[in-house]
Amino acid sequence: MDILVVGLNHRTSPIELREKLAFSQEETQQAYEKFLDHRLVREVMVLSTCNRVEVYSWANTGGEKRILSTLQELKGVRKEELLPVTYVYHGREAVKHIFRVASSLDSMVLGEPQIVGQVKDAFEQAMASEATGVILNQLMKKALSVSKRIRTETGIGESAVSVSYAAVELAKKIFGELDRKKALLVGAGEMAELAAQHLVNQGVAQLVVVNRTFSRAQELAEKLHGEAAPMENLPQELVDADIVITSTGAQEYIITRDMVQRVMRERKMKPMFFIDIAVPRDVDPQVERVENVYAYDIDDLEQVVEENRKRREKEATKAERIVEEEVENFLHWLRSQEVVPVIVSLRNWCDEIRKRELEKTVSRMKLNGEEAKALEALTSAIVNKILHPPLSYMKEAASKGEGEKVARLVKELFALEEKDEHKDRDQRQ
């Protein structure tokens, strides 16, 4: 038995194939039934996001082929399409990969926070479907705790690495809290919309959308829980705005230095922050020469993003060390599981002998309740002391990777498999 990862992601496969293999919640439920309808796969979990489709399992030799053939069957994908873009990890490498995924070290955007929620949701569905057991439950709980530890002990998620979010981070540096600030979105470009959404998420007090096509402004304003205004109202809307995001298709500046100087006089020189994400630019670069005006264009934001990306990469080095440490901790636990069934069987066998012999002695000697309890405690202590050295040896052997060999030896020495078979037969009868 081994931990196994079979999957593909944004690095190995095109989006067209990832779309074909993506699982909805209903499809995942059906997939669990298919994966587990065979003794090769004992436990399984599917993680399906826009950037990856991965199957985590606790499986026997041959589990890899079973998972691949099931994916082909469920999704109607040819073997020739699937195999060249699929990666497979076993044992230690599988555990490490899962920890890196949950910690956003394997994401398209290093340190992005969404993946941990996606992993948690997938794990909860797998548990609810009774597709996981002792091994995967422990593995995924550990993966989530590793992710939390990395977020706590490193700064991997602290610096903005998208242009839209970098813009919001700069606004927060200038204004501090945004809950009393008014934002103005000029145009309806995708990045500007994302920046506006980030502002809303950060609690900006009010958002107004201005666009040449008023119906589009109304549509976007409704989506962002803001208000719409026609383009001719731009000068007046600027007076009330603390943060201005522009992303139009204009071929010349729509916000000039003279316009901003007039606006600042009406604002009594209260600070203004311009985020120009348009190419060509919407905001005259000379605007920044006006007192209390801060203006950033796409190149400025890209520079901030690049600096932050380098900072995250530096923090990722610390995160990788944490992953390595936690992989070893988990593998130590996993190796100990190799001897657990044998330890339980040996303990049960010894305790059954103890109880039978104790029952004979108590009935023959006609002991009272207190005397029987004392003898019960005595025999339990004797058995525990006798078992302590061999059980400790088994656990130590397991920690060194020799658990399977020692477990087999103990089963043969005490004929435990034979005893378990007799017990199962007696219970069935």
For 113-130, write each residue's pLDDT tens digit. Answer: 889 999 999 999 999 999
Give the whole-number percent of the chain exceeding pLDDT 90: 62
Is the confidence at residue 49, as pLDDT, over 70? yes
DSSP 22: -
pLDDT at 145: 97
Cα angle 400, 384, 364 (rounded to 5 degrees) comes to 150
| Rounded mean pLDDT, 133-152 | 96
- Between CA 419 and CA 411 the distance in angstroms is 10
For residue 367, what pLDDT band results from cuts at 50, 70 and 90? Answer: confident
- Between CA 140 and CA 383 the distance in angstroms is 36
Token couple for 368: 């009272």
pTM: 0.68
CA 324 to chain centre: 17
- Least confident among 76-90, 134-148, 176-190: 176-190
| Rounded mean pLDDT, 234-259 | 94
pLDDT at 194: 82
Domains of the chain, earliest start first:
2-158 (3.30.460.30), 163-303 (3.40.50.720), 335-428 (no CATH)
pLDDT at 97: 98
For 297-339, write each residue's pLDDT tens digit. Answer: 989 888 888 887 888 889 999 999 999 999 999 998 888 777 8
CA 127 to chain centre: 16
Q: Are 61 and 22 in contact (CB under 8 A)?
A: no
For 230-239, write each residue's pLDDT tens digit. Answer: 999 999 999 9
pLDDT at 240: 94
pLDDT at 419: 53
pLDDT at 160: 57
Nearest CA among 34, 44, 98, 104 for reference residue 69:
34
pLDDT at 429: 37
DSSP 224: T
Backbone angles phi, psi at 416, to 5 degrees: -70, -35
Give the number of residues written for the chain.
Answer: 429
Instruction: Spot the catalytic one: 15, 50, 205, 413.
Output: 50
Nearest CA among 178, 170, 147, 150 for reference residue 307:
170
CA 350 to chain centre: 44
Nearest CA among 85, 82, 68, 89 for reference residue 4:
89
- Between CA 253 and CA 215 the distance in angstroms is 23
Token couple for 95: 């555990």
Nearest CA among 242, 239, 216 for reference residue 229:
216
pLDDT at 118: 94
CB atoms closer than 10 angstroms to residue 251: 7
pLDDT at 420: 52
Q: Is 50 a catalytic residue?
A: yes
pLDDT at 426: 46
Bridge-based pairing state of the strands 52-59 and 87-90: unpaired
Distances in Å between the alpha carbon of 276 and those of 176, 301, 305?
20, 9, 15
- Between CA 63 and CA 69 the distance in angstroms is 10
Q: Are 9 and 54 in contact (CB under 8 A)?
A: yes
Structure-token match 């340190």, residue found: 111
- Between CA 191 and CA 258 the distance in angstroms is 27
Is the confidence at residue 38, as pLDDT, over 80? no
- Least confident among 165-179, 211-225, 268-282, 308-322: 165-179
* Radius of gyration for the chain, computed over Cα atoms and rounded to the nearest angstrom: 32
For residue 161, what pLDDT band results from cuts at 50, 70 and 90? Answer: low
